[in-house]
Amino acid sequence: MNALLLKSSFPDFDSISAEHVVPAIEAILKANRSELASIKVGAEGADLVQAFHALERLSARLNDAWAPIAHLNAVMSHDALRTAYNTCLPLLSAYETELGQDRDLLEIYEAIAAQQTALQLSRAECKAVANALRDFRLSGVALSDDDRKRYGELKQRLSEQTSLFSEHILDATDAWEKVIKDEAELDGLPETAIALARQAAEAKGYGGYLLDLSSPSYSSVMTHATDRGLRRAVYEAYTTRASELGPQAGQFDNTALIQTILEDRLALAKLLGFGQFSELSLATKMAENPAAVMTFLTDLSNHSKVVAEQDFDEIACFGSEALGLSSIQPWDVAYCADRLKRHRFDLSDEDLRPYFPAQKVIDGLFEIVQRIFGVEVTPVTDMSVWHPDVTTYLIHREGVPLARFYFDLYARAKKRGGAWMADCRCRRQDPAHGLTLPVAFLTCNFPPPVNDQPALLRHDDVVTLFHEFGHGLHHMLTQVDCASVSGINGVAWDAVELPSQFLENWCWDPEALNLISGQVETGEPLPLALLDKMQQARNFCSGMQMVRQLEFALFDFRLHNEFDGNPATLQAILDQVRAAVSVIPISETNRFQNGFSHIFGDVMGYAAGYYSYKWAEVLSADAFSKFKEDGIFNRQTGERFLTTVLEQGGARDALELFVDFRGRAPTVTALLQQEGIL
Active site residues: 468
CA angle 272, 273, 279 (to 5 degrees): 90
**Alpha-carbon gap, residue 547 to 520, rounded angstroms:** 35
Cβ atoms 616, 469 nearer than 8 A: no
Alpha-carbon gap, residue 522 to 547, rounded angstroms: 40
What is the chain's alpha carbon radius of gyration, rounded to the nearest angstrom?
25
Query: Percent helix, strand and coil across the chain, each rounded to 5?
Result: 60, 10, 30
Residue type present at position 394: L
Gap between the Cα atoms of 560 and 557, Å rounded: 5
CA distance 547 to 540: 14
The backbone torsions φ and ψ at residue 210, rounded to the nearest 5 degrees and listed phi first, read: -120, 120
Neighbours of 395 (CB within 10 A): 24
Q: How far is it, in rounded angstroms, from Cα 305 to Cα 455?
A: 37
C-alpha 475/C-alpha 477 separation (Å) is 6
Residues 6+ apart with CB under 8 A from 79: none
Nearest to 22 by CA among 74, 65, 77, 79: 65
Residue 157, classified by CB atoms within 10 Å of its CB into exposed (0-12), middle (13-18) or buried (19+), is middle
Q: Each residue of 275-300: b (16+ CB within 10 Å) or e?
A: ebbbbbbbebbbbeebeebbebbeeb
